[in-house]
Amino acid sequence: MDFRTYIIFLLILGVCAVFSAYASRKVHSSYAAFGEVSNRSRLTGYDTAVRLLKRGGVHDVSVERVRGKLTDHYNPRKELVNLSESVYGESSIAAVAVAAHEIGHVMQKKKGYLPYKLRAALVPVANFGSRLALPLVLLGVLLDLFLVNANADVGFWVAMVGVALYGASTLFMLVTLPVELDASRRAKQMLLEENVLADDEIHGAEKVLRAAALTYVAALATSLVYFLRFLIWVLAMFGRRRRD
């Protein structure tokens, strides 16, 4: 990667960093604002999760409390919805919005939502790829060094497998975005249909969920930039070796 390309990469990465910081600040400010506003149904995050699970005909998923703030997540392997301390026992608009979002993921699994199934399938590939990508590229360089007299492209293709595995994490983030947006859409619909929030309260929930979605957009952009940098670096490295 030449100096000019490197500078461009740093500038783009800087933009991604600023956007990520903005998204993170937006999440916390939105949650802080609507975390202080009680919903008129007086349902807590736990109450909301249980009601929406029952409404969806789901009886094999448990709801538990976990430590931290905004550490909420659905664990499909354990069939467990974990709600953070700031959501589990709170009856704010923000709390029920976050709880409903996690139930949205439960419903995605129950209904066989395709992007959700694809993301679940990509989890082991992304984890595997993040560990093996760089070792494979280094192995490719060594193979290219020792097999250069045989005119073999083995090293290059081994390195490109490493790049592809590295790209699996970017693909995972790409698939994650529609999954998260759909979970939020389901959450808003369920909150209204089950009268957890009234029409004039749903705006607050939407602001919290939209802010959360921004963090996934930022993560995707950052992952894409790093993947392209990795790809360009490998292509440039092997290009120089071929010229030498």
- Each domain of the chain, given as residue ranges in start order, spans 3-38+112-243
pLDDT attached to residue 75: 95
User: Known catalytic residue: 102?
Assistant: yes
pLDDT attached to residue 15: 95
Q: What is the pLDDT of residues 32-72, one digit of tens each?
A: 999 999 999 999 999 999 999 999 999 999 999 999 988 99
- Residues contacting residue 202 through CB under 8 Å, at least 6 positions apart: 188, 191, 192
Q: Mark the ranges of the chain whose per-residue pLDDT is less than 50.
A: 150
Radius of gyration of the chain (CA): 22
pLDDT attached to residue 243: 54
pLDDT attached to residue 118: 95
The single-letter DSSP state of residue 149 is G
Show the 3-state SS of 201-240. Answer: CHHHHHHHHHHHHHHHHHHHHHHHHHHHHHHHHHHHHHHH
pLDDT attached to residue 146: 67
- Residues contacting residue 77 through CB under 8 Å, at least 6 positions apart: none
pTM listed for this prediction? 0.86
pLDDT attached to residue 187: 97
pLDDT attached to residue 4: 80
Find the catalytic residue in 102, 180, 201, 206: 102
Two tokens at 189? 């619909």
pLDDT attached to residue 240: 61
- Number of other CB atoms surrounding residue 214 within 10 Å: 18
pLDDT attached to residue 5: 77
